[in-house]
Amino acid sequence: MEMVIKCPACSMDLTVEDTAAGSQIKCPTCNTLLVVPAVSAEAPSGEESASKTFSGASDEQLARKIAAVYRQMAAEVGKAIVGQHEVIEQLFIAIFARSHCLLEGVPGLAKTYTIKSLSEAMSLSFRRVQFTPDLMPADITGTDVIQQDAEGRRQLVFLRGPIFAQLVLADEINRSPPKTQAALLEAMQEHSVTIGGQTYGLEEPFFVLATQNPVEQEGTYQLPEAQKDRFMFHIKVNYPKKDEEAEIIRRTTGVHNDPIRPVINGDEIIQCQKIVRKVPVPDHVNAYVLDLVRRCRPDDAEALPFTRELISWGPGPRACQQLILGGKVRAILQGRPNVVPEDIAALAHPVLRHRIVPTFNAEAEGITVDHIIDRVLQAVPQQPAGAAL
List, in order, residues 6 or more apart from 192 with CB less than 8 Å away. 186, 199, 200, 201, 202
pLDDT of amino acid 192: 87
This prediction's pTM:
0.76
pLDDT of residue 71: 87
Secondary structure percentages of the chain, helix, strand, coil, to 5: 40, 20, 40
156-165, 228-237, 250-259, 284-293: segment of lowest average pLDDT: 250-259
pLDDT at 108: 80
Of residues 156 and 49, more confidently modeled: 156
Average pLDDT over residues 351-373: 89
Q: Can you tell me the distance from the alpha carbon of 163 to that of 141, in angstroms, rounded to the nearest whole number?
A: 6
Q: Give pLDDT, residue 48.
A: 42
Q: How far is CA 70 from the centre of its chain?
A: 15
CA atoms of 11 and 201, how far apart (whole Å):
13
* Alpha-carbon gap, residue 373 to 353, rounded angstroms: 8
Confidence category of residue 17, pLDDT binned at 50, 70, 90: low
279-389: CATH class: mainly alpha
CA dihedral 98, 290, 233, 352 (to 10 degrees): 160
Residue 279 has pLDDT above 70, yes or no: yes
Q: Note the pLDDT of residue 111.
A: 84
Could you report the per-residue pLDDT of 138-150, keeping only the tens digit for each? 888 888 788 777 7
State which H helix or E strand residue 256 sits in.
Answer: none
Tell me: pLDDT of 348 over 90. Answer: yes
Kindly tell me if the per-residue pLDDT of 50 is higher than 60.
no
pLDDT of residue 351: 93
Fold of 52-277: Rossmann fold (3.40.50)
Size of the chain, expressed as the number of residues it contains = 389
Q: Where are the domains of the chain?
A: 52-277, 279-389
